[in-house]
Amino acid sequence: MDAEHIRELFREFGLVQVRRMFGGAGLYAEGVMFGLVSDDLIYLKTDAATASAFEAERCAPFQYETKSGTRALRSYWRLPDRLYDDPDELAQWARRALTVAKLGVWAKPAAKPMRRSVRRPVPRCRRR
């Protein structure tokens, strides 16, 4: 799925930036990542409240392979197939995903400054 096709799918939602990452792409709006594309499938950002809508559509969370097996990332769920043909409803789902993504960005605690190690003077050997 190319970037132009993705932008066309989300035309009712608004401007979407597609940025390549790993084997797929991240979907951004207003500077926040609200979705991702992997293996030509779109996944949207979810939280506990919005994931139930994806479950009701029999969608699955994003999965990827690791050396130790398959791992699911439950914060991104596959877009229901029917939404690829319904730009108005796709826009509603995308708006919810963007809201969830923004809340996640705002909820993250600020990074703690790294502690500088105190350099203690190394005692010097006395010359005789």
Express each pLDDT in 53-77 by its tens digit: 999 999 999 988 888 888 888 899 9
pLDDT along the chain (128 residues), means of 10: 91 94 91 94 94 95 88 91 95 96 68 59 60
Q: Quote the pLDDT of residue 23.
A: 82
Q: Quote the pLDDT of residue 69.
A: 86
Contact 10, 84 (CB under 8 A): no
pTM, entire model? 0.78
Distance CA 119, CA 10 (A): 54
Which residue's entry shows tokens 């605690």? 109
Q: Cite the beta strand spans of the chain per DSSP E.
A: 17-21, 24-29, 32-38, 41-45, 61-66, 69-78
